[in-house]
Structure 1
Amino acid sequence: MKRFDKRQTEVIILLLACDKNLSSQDIATALGLSSKTIQRGIKLINDNLTTVGIEIISKRSKGFYIHPEDKDKFRNLLFEEKFQTQVIPDMQEGRIEWLLDRFAYLMLENAEIDLATLTEELFVSLTTLKKDLVLVKKQLGKNHLSLEKFSNKGLKISGSEVDIRTFIRERLFKNGEYLSTNFSFSKLGKDTELETNIGIILHKYDVYMSDIGFMNFILHLQILIERDRYVSRDSQVLSKIQIDQSSSEYRCALAVLKYMIKTLEVTLPENEVMNIYIHLTTQKRLQIMTEQQERSDEYRVMINETLAEINQIYHYNFTNDTLLIEGLWVHLFSAIKRLKFQMKIENNLLEEIQMQYPFEMQLAQLLAKKMKQMLLVDIPMAEIGFLALHFCGANERRTLRVNSEKLKVVLVCSTGLGTSILLKSKITAKFSTRIQIQEILSYHDLVKFDFSETDLIISTIVLDEHYPIPWLYVSSIVGDRDIALIETFLQEEEASKITDLLSEQCFITQIKGVTNRFEAISHIGEKLVATGQIDASCLTALLHRERLGTTEIGNLVAIPHCMDEDILYPKLAIGILEKPIHWKYQDVQIIVLFFMDTKNKVFLQSVFQDLYAQLSKPKVVENMIRQQDYSYFKKLFTQGE
């Protein structure tokens, strides 16, 4: 059979969308063509379909239509052509995605495909295809699936029925094929009435979903129907899991199954209710108060303990942020169910979250460790990324709250009363909404002053001694230059630059003999202690922080860090291993140790963002490993890459 051209495809789609006959003039008007062109086009379509056994039916004086029993065959033909008419990827990464989509679609019909067909469709050699299939198998392995050869028929996906369905749903939903006009299933199709009735059932049992969640659920039902035709009842039996048969999700699942059996006139095994039940329990519900109180308390304890750890490590106090606590609490109900039932979740925002919010990812890692202790399973990065979004919101609220507070300032004036009044008046007149003047001190009073509640010193004399907070020198009459100096200070969110944290003595290369993350951190830390760059207590704090949650950020990089009151000045140290080691989830070869004092919290986030912006680039990491050069690393933050 030849491929349909664009005009023929449009004619078929139009007829599929209509439940009544269309005249050639109706079709011509809709497509902006002549009726004769439409008549010739339909004849060519039917000539092309003789080997398939379907056709567009023509009735004199009534027009054209597609028989209802043939509509699904037409839809599947059009969807099949997606793989034949789309732009063929010429890069390996694109071919891998194409192959994964291809195998997912084939599993809807439990079909195989041979290597010869794939090489023809991709326009690649057999050698190239085999190399691609190695990566395809690796990707399938992450879904607990394999690619098997079945007799002489070809290749197809093998695995548990639950994993196969999950994989199909992920691929189709990710690519938006479910929303495509060209795509439908043999039983459900894109039936608005069906979606409406399923929505009514969900509402009846108080099961609520987002729009995307609902579309995902409809897709789940479509795959259930399609796959049920090809698999044995035994292969659909799930492992024994505890369920609450009195729960609204279970009763809703029963109602959905009964509706499908009755309305669609299909035979489905009773154990399919479990598949529906599991899917429903992983969707977020707006009315979680029906859950058992003891589980609610357990989750709250987990959240509160995590927030206490964050306050202890980073001195960021989120313990009173009720919006964060409630948001995490709601999220944990659905997240923990997903993990218990080993349901995968896609996070298409993960890469962007890691790049834009590396600090919040570190906070989410701490909560993920608590979840792992409860469930005894590793928490996937996709889930950690969603947890990080809650901390992003909390940090934004905290930043707004901090920025809305006035900067607390003491004035130091060595001259008379009149000059000090002028100094206070000019600063108050210019910065009254941003600065709160606590006191006016003499130089001698400054020595005895408690700075614990003060942010800045503005002085008319140069201060030689070291003070625990920043100070600015201004003229006694506060001219334009002085106003500009204060304005600049207020606008800067960070007191120093990342390059101020670097020194060549803290750039260590060719590290050998370490086999895990703790050995690597200890090796670098001990060298820093030996040269007086840090105190031994800093290394202890660093190792303690790493035990709370992994600090790898991907791309062969990890950023172990700690915040401690004993650290007088922030510092960065870089270690480059001779060979990569496995960290927690991925391999790491570049280790950036970050020591932060407790007074520069905003700077802490800024450093994370600057480091991630550079070290997430494969070219930068490759150059660092190859060059092993301190000046190159420093230039990244002065000139960029």
Structure 2
Amino acid sequence: MDRVKLQELLVLLKQDEYRTASQLASRLGVSEKTVRTGLHELDRQLAENGGRVTSKARFGYHLEITDQDQFEKYQSETAVDGSIPDSGQARSEYLLAYLLFRREYVKIEQLCDFIYVSKTTLSHYLKSVEDILRRYRLSIERRPNYGIKIRGEEFDMRRLISDYFIKRHCLEGVDISHQEEEMAALARQVRKLMANYEVHLSEISFENFVDYTYVAWKRMKAGYYLKMDRENLPEIGVKEQAFIQELLGILAKEKGISCTQDEENYLLLYLAGKRMIGNIVENDSNFVIHEQTDRLALEMIRLVDHDFHMDFLKNFEMRMTLNQHLVPFDVRMRYDIPLKNPMLQEIKEKYSLAYQMSGVSCSVLKEYYHREIPEDEVGYFALIFELALEKGDLERRLDILVVCSTGKGTSRLLKYKYEQEFSEFLNSIYVCDLIGLESFDLSLVDYIFTTVPITMKVSVPIVEVGMFLGTEDIQRVTDVLRFGSNGDIIRRYYGPARFLSHVPVGSKEDVLKYICDVIEKQELVDNDFYDLVLERETYIQMDYGNMITLPHPNQIASEESFAYVAVLERPMVWNNLPVQVILLTSIGRKGDKEKERQRFYETTARFALSREAVSQLIQAPEYEVLVRQLKK
């Protein structure tokens, strides 16, 4: 018996029932003698590959698997159809693609024959298929005597097809050159129409739009159409409507498909949902901001102002940018249009404070839409907050005091050098010697830069520099003026007495009470400090996923600003996530300078978003380890 027939014979053998030589011969179209010879050869091969062929008088032959992994490896290596992948995961995805384009039910036996596997192995593959389907709100429907089929909304099926078989090219061994040529031609056509109609998309949004349009074309060609509720459709610009109508007209003519109004509406929604920050054209008469959108933008800004004590409410440009971003965001949320953020990890690492602010502000949107805001979307909102923070940095210039031990002439020269090198960061530059420092009003300045050692205790950060401002000195001063000093922030807000290790685990309330009791003994806080911390926990919960949580009171409730870090004895569940580090912050009534407070938030957010930094502290819960991680 040749290899193909031998593989077919293996597929026909069952684990849960016996089959006679006559039945097998009839299915294969060969003699019973040939079947018996093949069964003997198959048993010999299976003996070394996790299985065996057993027989029972008057019942027939039966497949027995002794090692599932070894048996599946044997099946992969002996597959006779070159188009069927070898690995288990790839076969699951191959099976998924097959089922997605099957309108009618398909029987289990047919699927076994299709990918040359046993019923047991097929069941294993179907579990993997169902895991994928669940992520897209799809499922497998089973009907006795009919078989199985995929059940769910057409749009969700298209999302799955786009993610797995367009973006990721999951079908191993399948020639996709024809698909790539078709998509390249479609992309050229879309770009041409975008130019004609002055429709603007970012490169990422353009790629996603082409992917979706390609899948829509293929699904319509196969007879699958979308159905959608046409009520409450957002306003779509005239240019966009004309662009989509011409695009669908071209597809209908060249590809022989019939486009429905629902398909046109959804493509319009997909286009509207892909518009991003910076893609709204100035003076675009079709771009409308509704009162509800502006209300959401204001609530987001107010919440960030309340939580971070940042004065963003006066930033009209930021408010308008949020408004512009919320319009396509609303389309994506209401019609469940995904938008991937390829910069997400970089945003978390480089713009940690902005990401933290975005996470807090999105609690407004979570309440409005009654669903979680995707992490990709949180990342895009973070870019808006980062832009506001950076512009604020440019507007907030610093006042410094330069201390030297030489005469007035040299002091004037030194002041001139600082003006020349650091003018973009500075507002006022004061100069004095050590004697003048004793009577100088330090509330006027943010930093002291000195060419001589200062032994007296002062309330302002000190940076020692050389008299002639060499290359290294210039870089050092620039870094301090631009980014501040982590060491200063740690000394100001953190401290050895504010670090708690081996904190006992109980309920969330128990742990917070333990920490707040320590705070009340060491800090000047309001009598309801603990209650205010609990109050804040009830309505804003930002999940970091790094074994850390950052509670704080719902309003200013302490005289001084501080940060307490508590490491628990073991992990506990906190807002449905495992947590072992609690970083409790409080901004005080005594005025922190805004730039210093921002630097504190940046340092804290960068630490909280770093999985490695939090992990290092958990492994070695010591104050020195915390300081090292905060300084990174």
- TM over 0.5, yes or no? yes
**Match 2:254 to one of 260, 263, 270:** 263
* TM-aligned CA deviation for residue 149 of structure 1: 4.6
Deviations 1:275-301, CA, capped at 9 Å, x for gaps:
323222212163473347551x54345
Match of 2:182 in 1: 190
AA aligned to 1:612 is: L
Look up the SS of the partner of 1:263 in the other structure.
helix
Equivalent position of 1:213 in the other structure: 205
State the TM-score, normalized to the length of structure 1.
0.65
* Equivalent residues in 2 for 1:107-506, closer than 5 Å: 107-108=100-101, 130=124, 137-138=130-131, 140-149=133-142, 157-175=150-168, 182-183=175-176, 190=182, 194-199=186-191, 201=193, 206-228=198-220, 236-243=226-233, 247-248=237-238, 249-250=240-241, 252-284=243-275, 286-287=280-281, 289-291=284-286, 293=288, 295=290, 298-318=292-312, 324-399=318-393, 405=397, 407-409=399-401, 411=403, 421=408, 424-425=411-412, 427-428=414-415, 430-432=417-419, 433-434=421-422, 436-438=428-430, 440=432, 449=441, 451-452=443-444, 454-456=446-448, 458=450, 464-465=456-457, 467=459, 469-471=460-462, 491-492=479-480, 493-496=484-487, 501-503=494-496, 506=499
Aligned-pair CA distance for 1:143: 2.1
Q: Distance in 2 between matches of 1:472 and 1:440?
A: 15
The answer to whether the 8 A contact 2:252-2:259 is kept is yes
Unaligned runs of 5+ in 1: 4-79, 90-94, 414-418
Determine if contact 1:244/1:250 at 8 Å carries over to the other structure: no
Distance 1:102 1:566, change over 3 A: farther
Structure 1 pair 558–150 and aligned structure 2 pair: CA distance change class (3 A):
farther
CA distance in 2 between partners of 1:194 and 1:487 (Å)? 51
Q: Is the 8 A contact 2:403 2:431 kept in 1?
A: yes
- What amino acid is the match of 1:379? I
Alpha-carbon distance between aligned partners in 1 of 2:91 and 2:559, rounded to the nearest angstrom:
52
Alpha-carbon deviation of 1:190? 0.6
Q: Count how many residue pairs are aligned between Structure 1 and Structure 2.
A: 530
Structure 2 contact 402–450 (Cα < 8 Å) conserved:
yes
CA distance in 2, matches of 1:114, 1:154: 6
SS class of match (1:554): coil
1:379-428 Cα shifts (integer Å, max 9, x gaps): 221211111123334434444565xx464226598xxxxx5525624632
Which piece of structure 1 moves more, 250-259 or 378-387? 250-259
Is the Cα contact below 8 Å between 1:84 and 1:121 reproduced in 2?
no
Distance change (3 Å), C-alpha of 1:628 and 1:495: closer
Is residue 332–residue 338 contact of structure 2 (8 Å, CA) maintained in 1?
Answer: yes
Query: Which of 527, 549, 573 is the matching residue for 2:565?
Result: 573
Per the TM alignment, residue 335 of structure 1 is displaced from its structure 2 partner at its CA by: 0.9
Mapped to 2, the partners of 1:211 and 1:343 lie a distance apart of: 17
Bigger drift between 442-451 and 493-502 goes to 442-451
Q: Is the Cα contact below 8 Å between 2:96 and 2:129 reproduced in 1?
A: no
In structure 1, distance between residues paired with 2:91 and 2:391? 42
Q: 8 Å contact 1:499–1:634 — kept in the other structure?
A: no
Secondary structure of the residue aligned to 1:372 is helix
1:162 is displaced (CA, Å) by 1.3
What is the identity, as a one-letter code, of the residue corresponding to 1:290?
A: S
Relative to structure 1, the CA distance from residue 544 to residue 396 in structure 2 (aligned partners, 3 Å threshold; closer, same or farther) is: farther
RMSD: 5.1
Deviations 1:340-387 (A, max 9, x none): 112222233333433443321111123323333443443221211111
Distance of 1:202 and 1:316 partners within structure 2:
40
- In structure 1, C-alpha distance between the alignment counterparts of 2:628 and 2:141, rounded to whole Å: 47
Contact 1:119 1:126 in 2 (8 A): no
- Matched with 1:532 is 522
In 2 relative to 1, CA 482–344 (structure 1 residues): closer, same or farther, beyond 3 Å?
closer
Q: 1:219 to 1:485 in 2, by over 3 A?
A: closer
- How does the TM-score come out when normalised to structure 2? 0.66
Residue 164 of structure 2 aligns with an amino acid whose one-letter code is: R
Percent of residue pairs identical = 16
Structure 2: gaps (5+ residues): 5-80
The range that moved more, 160-169 or 192-201, is 192-201
